[in-house]
Amino acid sequence: MFVRNIAIQLKPNTSTEFSKIFDAEVLPLLRKQTGFQNEITYADNSYLNAVSIWDTKQSADTYEKNSYSQVMKLVEKFIDGTPKVRSGEVLSSTLKTLPATEHAAA
């Protein structure tokens, strides 16, 4: 597994609206991406982290190249500053990896 972590500073009082857009528009887009496994978002006041989990680095790289800019356009009005992206191989996890056939049906 491979992860991408996006650290975002949200504009004041936008976390509720951000969550609505993320759930309604970003997650469906992510679910269509080859190799996408899971998404975890968490916030501390206006500081948000979005962690996407991928089957391989290649899948995450393909998403970054082809669809990441589309996601950023969906949420740009909520962001203050430039998001910071970090990525890496998962060393340990309790998350269950879905077989390709189950993922395609999700």
> 75: domain CATH number?
3.30.70.100
Q: Check: CB of residue 59 under 8 Å from CB of residue 39.
A: no
pLDDT reported for residue 6: 96
Mean pLDDT, residues 9-18 = 92
Mean pLDDT, residues 80-92 = 93
Distance, in Å, from the CA atom of 47 to the CA atom of 43, rounded to the nearest integer, reads 6
Q: How confident is the model at residue 97 (pLDDT cuts 50, 70, 90)?
A: low
Residue 103 maps to a domain:
no
pLDDT reported for residue 99: 53
Q: How confident is the model at residue 105 (pLDDT cuts 50, 70, 90)?
A: very low
In the chain, the number of structural domains is: 1
Evaluate if pTM is beyond 0.85.
no
Residue 104 maps to a domain:
no
Residue 79 maps to a domain:
yes
Distance, in Å, from the CA atom of 4 to the CA atom of 79, rounded to the nearest integer, reads 18
Strand 2-9 vs strand 36-44: parallel, antiparallel, or unpaired? unpaired
